[in-house]
Structure formats: C-alpha cells, structure tokens
Structure 1
C-alpha cells in the first residue's frame, strides 16, 4: 500500500512544545495497529537531529524531540518555522519517501505459562459466573486464543492485549485492589493482560505466571513488545512454584 493511499487518514498535532502526535486512525483494530507499527518503525530507523524517542499507542505514535537542538540543526532562524512545523514536515517527507506499508509483518510469538484459579487466580470463578461458564471452560477458552500486543503501558512492561473473545469478557472490579501480585493475569472488558510488577489495579485476576515480563537489568527491559503475539499455556501449581523458584 502506497503512503498516498492512506495520507488523508493520518493527522498530526503538537503535544506541548517538545512532541508531536501522529494519529493513524480512531479504532482499536489490527489494521490500525499495523499502520502504527509501520509509522513507528519508519521514524525509528530514520531519526533526525534532536530526536529523543518514539512511543507507540493503540492508534498513534508520539515523537518526542529537543526543541533547541531541532531549532539549531535545521537552521530554523532563517526559515520562520517552529520546531514543531519542521518536525512535522520532516516526518511527512520521510513517509512519502520511505513508507513500506502493506507488506507482511512478521510477528514474534511468545508463550506465557499460567497457573489458573485458586489463590493465584482469585477472580476466575467470578469471570465464569458472569459468563455462565465453568472455571474449566474459562481456562480452556483463554488458552485457546492468540492475543496481539497493541501497546506497552500503564506499568513497565504491561502488555495491552487484543483478541479476547466476548465469551469470557468481564468488567473491571467495582473496588480495585491496592496491591496485585507480579505476574497476575487479568481480564478487563474485552482485554486481557499481565501485571509485570506489583501495583494497584482493578482487573479480574484469573491466574498468575512465574515468567518475568519486566526485566530492568536487561538491554530491552520488557519481555513483550508491540506487535508480538501471545499465547497462554496452562501449568500446574507445582510447575508454577518450581519455575518461580528457578527464576530467582
């Protein structure tokens, strides 16, 4: 797909005086996600003087930059342009020249082992009750799916996963928990996710993984990245504690 065919669906607007938001659509769906991924990759591979970082979200990419560096490097004092206007023009030109949209995107598949129910998944029975299912049916359906990582956010390494069937969707808890154990797997609406660190939260907890998702001492601290596909694999309580001990 040529950039000219989607150009009218991409909009730009400033975020303060040191960032620009590139909006790729309004809906949370795979087509928009792929567009966001292409935007992010293109900009990351062709940074400009003053570029700080690009951050992916569900439907947009935010590019952070250092205004003074952009002003000096682009000689804006002679062009009557603001740093935002120059960065916007640079990105538009870059996309016109380098856009690679429409190609097959290769996705990394990550299997996450989960021990469901009991003390590790205290809301599993509630999710089952809401949907008129047994706990075993909820686990079977949850492990049958493949989930797309739309973005990483809320907490370090927290994956927002799309693809959860309505069969096991459940609303957030009326009263959030003040502390959720690291590795807890939850459901909120039509999303599922994994808490990589202990944090307050209101998702319905159906299980827990011993696999660390946030690894602060590694070069890439998040196990998962936007664009990955996740599969959940059921494990026993004995396997859970054995693996958890091995990870220490």
Structure 2
C-alpha cells in the first residue's frame, strides 16, 4: 500500500493557509493535492473563498470572520489524513484530444525571431528539443511526444494554461527540454511548448520561455463562447488528461475553420482515474484507460 507523508501547513497573514505536501515534483504528491482540494470543494465549508491546487501543494483563502484559522486547519488535517492513501484518491476526470501541427511555420518563425534569447540560436525550438533528447528523425520525436497521454497537474499564471506531465513513462523515457535562456516577450496563442518535463498550450498571446514544438488547432481558452465544450471559457482542469494528436496542415486548416464557425466538437472521454492502479500497473493501466479513445 502506498502512503504519503503528512502535509506541512503554514499560515499566511489572516486569510490564507498554505499546504506543502512535498518540495519534490512527483505524480504521487500531485494526486494527493488534487484529491484533498476536490474533497475540500465537495464539503463546501462556509468561509472558504478560494482553493488553488498546485503541483505538490495547495493554497486556501478564507474569511476569518466566518471561520477561524484553527478550525480550518483542523478540517484540512482531517482531510489530509483521509487522503494519504492512494486508494482514496480516485478522480472523476476526462481525456481530451489536442490536435497538433508539429514543427509548423509559425513556431519556427518565433524560434528565429527570439534566437538571441536561446541556448542554440542556430536551431529552431523543435530541432533543439530533438537534439537534447537524442532524436535524429523528426517523425520519431513527434511519435514519442504524441504517443502518450499527459496528466494536468495544475493550471495558472496565464488564464487557461495547464501544466501537462507525461503518464506511463520512467524518468529515463520522459522528454525533457531546458527553457529559454531569457523568456520571449511574445508567444503565439495556441503554441505548444515544452519546459522541463511539462508540455503546455499557450492560451493567449503572452510572454513565455517554453521551447515551441507546434501549434494546437483548437483553443484552450475562449471568452467568445463559440464552442459548446468551452462554455466555461477554460478547457483545462487539474486532473484532466490531454492527448496530443499529430495533424498536417490540411487538417489543421480544416479544424481552424470549424472552430471559427462554431461547429468544432472536441474528442472527449470521461473516465475515473485511479492513482493506485496507475502506480501499481503503470503502462498497462494507461493502455486500459486509453482504450477506444
């Protein structure tokens, strides 16, 4: 049986409690952060204003006139003890497909536009990501990145952005890429980038430092309410699973047209994700989870 250590709690001023499960990034620690914050939302405790899960921690904002810090700490300790076993961390979540045009002209253009901020200005971001991971062929890199699903460990800093961590791989198999030496001042909306072991889709034009490897054909953030699956504005939710699917320019343009007309439908499958089964069965569990998707 997998059991995680108790969480460290810190009071930040009169309105916040910060809970640190670990300083080490691991899916086990992230599963616990998501399970606890999900349970905290379910209990709907009066006085809690906001709940913000992160990779291996979470932050709770509360109204001290409605609930004391001591009482809230007791609630959190109770949930923490109940959610320290992986068997108690199952998540109702969804798998979402992200059609991606890898090594596209726009992200290549941005590679050269900001080459003075890059470790290797003679390479595009895509070529750099290939090189540092030992790939010599373009299609082999695309297959390696797109053949596995990614678990959203947290969202934040830009509205709609999600940190996607690869599932079912050993540390040696994970694609990892250093970020830019100095961040870009601009990144195109829907660009797909890798920073460290995380993949992210930039939801809007923004600064950024992830190495850009392609363009998502679909939005992950939309205030125009054009698509049925984006009525909540943001596509990502911590605990969701994204699967990047390689597409060519023809399919990319077709999907973009459907998005603009409001007729595009995301490929989504709702599942119950079991951290215990994942850590016990590994790749076999991922294959079972992804069946018929």
Does the pair score TM above 0.5? Answer: yes
Q: 1:92 to 1:138 in 2, by over 3 A?
A: same
CA distance, structure 1, for counterparts of residue 80 and residue 183 of structure 2: 43
The structural deviation recorded for 1:167 is: 6.0
Q: 1:211 to 1:100 in 2, by over 3 A?
A: same
Runs of 4+ displaced beyond 6 Å: 97-100
Give matches, 1:47-62, under 5 Å.
47-62=44-59
- Asked which structure has the greater CA Rg, the reply is 1
The structural deviation recorded for 1:28 is: 1.4
Note the aligned Cα RMSD (angstroms). Answer: 2.5
- Deviation per residue, 1:165-218 (Å, 9 max, x gap): 756422112232211111100111222111111101111100001211113355
The structural deviation recorded for 1:93 is: 4.0
Equivalent residue for 1:135? 138
93-102 vs 237-246, which moves further: 93-102
Equivalent residue for 1:203? 210
The structural deviation recorded for 1:222 is: 1.8
Q: 1:131 to 1:91 in 2, by over 3 A?
A: closer
Report the 3-state secondary structure (helix = DSSP H, G, I; strand = E; otherwise coil) of the residue aligned with 2:65: helix
**One of 215, 222, 228 as aligned partner of 2:234:** 222
TM-score, normalising length: structure 1: 0.84
CA distance, structure 1, for counterparts of residue 133 and residue 77 of structure 2: 47
Quick check: 1:154 aligned with 2:154?
no
May I ask how many residue pairs the two structures share in their alignment?
Answer: 233
Q: 1:38 to 1:211 in 2, by over 3 A?
A: same
CA distance, structure 2, for counterparts of residue 61 and residue 176 of structure 1: 26
TM-score, normalising length: structure 2: 0.72
Q: Which segments of 5 or more consecutive residues in structure 2 lack a partner in the other structure?
A: 109-124, 261-293
CA distance, structure 1, for counterparts of residue 245 and residue 165 of structure 2: 17
CA distance, structure 2, for counterparts of residue 201 and residue 95 of structure 1: 34
